[in-house]
Amino acid sequence: TSAQAFAAVDIGASSGRVILGTMTDAGPELVTVHRFPNGVQFLGGALRWDVEALFAEVLTGLTAAAAAAAAAGTTVTSIGIDTWAVDYGLVDDTGALRHLPFSYRDGRTEATIGVVHAALPPERLYARTGLQFLPFNTLYQLAAERSLSGVQALLIPDLLAYRLTGERRTEATNASTTGLLDAATGTWAQDLLEALGLPADLFPPLVEPGSVVGHLLPAIAAGTGLPETTAVVAVGSHDTASAVAAVPAGSTRFAYISSGTWSLVGVELDTPILGDGSRAANFTNERGVDGTIRYLRNTGGLWLLQECLREWSVEGPEPDLLGLLTAAGELPAGGPVIDADSNDFLAPDGMPARIRRAAEAAGHAAPSSRAAVVRCILDSLAEAYARTLRDAVRLSGHAIDVIHVVGGGSQNALLCQLTADRTGLPVLAGPVEATALGNVLVQARAAGLVAAGPGLAGIREAARAAARTVRYEPADLAALSPAG
Ligand code: ADP
Ligand code: LRH
C-alpha cells in the first residue's frame, strides 16, 4: 500500500459515506469507514437539510478515516468533499448560518421562477449558462431569499469545506448548477447576477478540481486525530461530476447513467451545446472535471422507489427491497409506463398513490400490488433513459455503443436489464461507489499518483483498474436503438 491515503466525503440525497482510498499497484482501493443516512426534513415550515447533523457525521467519518489510515500504516494526505448540487447555505461574517439550508425539493421557488424570467428570459439564460430548466436551480432559490445582505452563499460541499478549513471557495463543477456560470468560459456570469440584483461577491471565488482549498483548522485536526497539515482538496464537488469522472469507460463512445436518488442520463462532450433544439429538449451542460461537459437530463430516478419504500415502512414492517425487486421482475412485460421525469414527483409524500394516479391518467390500469408499483417505476425509468439517450445522440451527434450505469442503482439488476432491453445497447453496471472513486482519484492525481492529462485519461484508466462491472445484454437487439 501507498504511504498516502485520501478521504472522500460523499453525501447523496439518501445517504452519506466517508471512504478511505489508497493507490496500490493493482489500482485504487476503497474502504468505507463511515456510513450515515440522509434525507430532506420538514423543519421550520420548509423542506431542508440538517447540515449541522451532516457536519457531525463528517467529523465522525474523518475520525474513523484517521484511525483506519493509522492502522494501515498510512496517513491521510487530503480530504475531498462532494454532495448533491444546487443547494447552499448563507453564512454571515462570523461563519454562522442565516438559516438551515433549504432542500431543492421545497416548493417555494414556484413563486420566483416568473420573477427571474421577467428579468432574464429563459432563452437568454440557456444561451449563456447551458443549464436545463429545473424549478430548483440555485438562481430561483436565491430569488426566494428574504435578504442576502451581509451573507455569502456557500454551496453545500463548499460550506462543509469552509467548516473544516475556514476558507471560502466555490468549486467550479458545482458552480455550473447555479444558473449563474457562463457555460463557454466557466466563469461567473456577472451580468446575470447583476440583472437579478444579486451582490457581485455573493459566491466566493471559483476553484478548479485538484486545487488545495485549505488545511484543517487546529480544532478540527485535534478533534479528528488528523494532522493539521491535512489538505482539503477541491474535487468534482458536484457528486455527479465525480461519478462521471470515474466511469470505467475504455473509449469515448459511451453514455452514462448516474443512478441514485436521481438518474442523470447523458454523454460527455468537449464543448457545450447551447442552441434552441437543446433548450427545447431541456438538456443541461454541466461542467465536469477538467472542463468536460456533461450533456445530460435529470430523469426521475430511484427517488420514486425510495419514497414508496418510506411510505410502506410507515404502514407496516420495513419492506424488503430485494424481495420486491424479485417479485417485480416476475411480472409480465407490457405493464403501465408513466412519465418518470414529471415535476409532479418532485415533492415527498404519498408517492404510491401519485404513481397510481399517473398510470390512470396515462390510460393504463393503476398498478395494484406493491410489486406492480415497483415494476411500473422501473419500466418508466428505463423508458425515460431510452428516450433521453435517443435525444442526447440526436442533439450532440455523439455516437454511443455502451451504457455505463454507476451509483447505488447499478445494483438493481432488473433496472439494468430493462435499460438494456429498451435501449438495445449493452449495459455495464458499476462501480456502486463511482462518486467516491472519482473524488479519491482527483485527489490522488493532485498528489501525483495518477497520470495527469490529456483530459481524464489517467483517471479513467485508474477507474478501469478499480472497477468490477456486470454486463447486461439487450434481450432483443432489434429493439429501439438510441444510435438509430
Ligand atoms: P444518492 O447518492 O442519491 O443518495 P446512491 O447512489 O447511494 O444515491 O443510490 C441509492 C439507491 O441505490 C437507492 O435508492 C436504492 O434504490 C439503490 N440500491 C441500494 N442498494 C441496492 C441493492 N442492494 N439493490 C438494488 N438497489 C439498491
Ligand atoms: C444528484 C444531483 C444531481 C442534481 C441534483 C440536485 O445527487 O447532484 O446531479 O441535479 O442532485
DSSP code string of 145-169? -S--TT-EEEEHHHHHHHHHHS---
Contact status, residue 405 vs residue 259, Cβ threshold 8 Å: yes
The whole-angstrom separation of Cα 91 and Cα 259 is: 32
Compute the distance from residue 339 Cα to the ligand 2 centre, in Å.
Answer: 19
Closest CA to 352 of 302, 312, 323: 312
Rounded to the nearest angstrom, the gap between the alpha carbon of residue 454 and the centroid of all alpha carbons in its chain is 24
State the residue for C-alpha cell 447523458.
Answer: 266
What is the residue-wise DSSP string for 439-455?
HHHHHHHHTTSS---ST
Q: For ligand 2, say whether the CB of 104 is within 6 Å of any of its atoms.
A: yes
Distance CA 191, CA 197 (A): 10
pLDDT tens, position by position, 409-457: 999 999 999 999 999 999 999 999 999 999 999 999 999 999 997 889 9
In this structure, which residue's CA is closest to atom 8 in ligand 2? 84
Known catalytic residue: 344? no
CA atoms within 13 A on the CB side of 204: 24
Mutate to test the pocket of ligand 1, among 14, 35, 307 (most ligand atoms within 8 A of CB): 14
Atom 2, ligand 2: residue with shortest CA distance? 84
Q: Are 174 and 238 in contact (CB under 8 A)?
A: yes
- For the entire predicted model, the pTM comes to 0.97
10 Cα nearest atom in ligand 1: 2
Q: What is the complex's ipTM, to 2 decimals?
A: 0.99
52/457 Cα distance (integer angstroms):
37
pLDDT tens-digit map of 256-298: 999 999 999 999 999 999 999 999 999 999 999 999 999 999 9
Q: What is the pLDDT of residues 3-53, one digit of tens each?
A: 899 999 999 999 999 999 999 988 899 999 999 999 999 999 999 999 999
Pocket test for ligand 1, best of 299, 321, 345 (most atoms within 8 A of CB): 321
Residue 241 Cα to ligand 2 midpoint, Å, equals 10
- Marked catalytic residue, from 10, 82, 87, 239: 239
pLDDT, tens only, 378-405: 999 999 999 999 999 999 999 999 999 9
Of all protein residues, the one whose alpha carbon is nearest to atom 20 of ligand 1 is 408
Measured from the CB, is residue 85 less than 6 Å from ligand 2? yes
Cα dihedral sign, 41-45-51-57:
negative
Ligand 1 site residues, Cβ closer than 6 angstroms: 12-15, 260-261, 302, 305-306, 407-409, 411-412
Residue 8, phi then psi, degrees to nearest 5: -105, 120
Q: Of all atoms in ligand 2, which is nearest to the CA of residue 134? A: 10
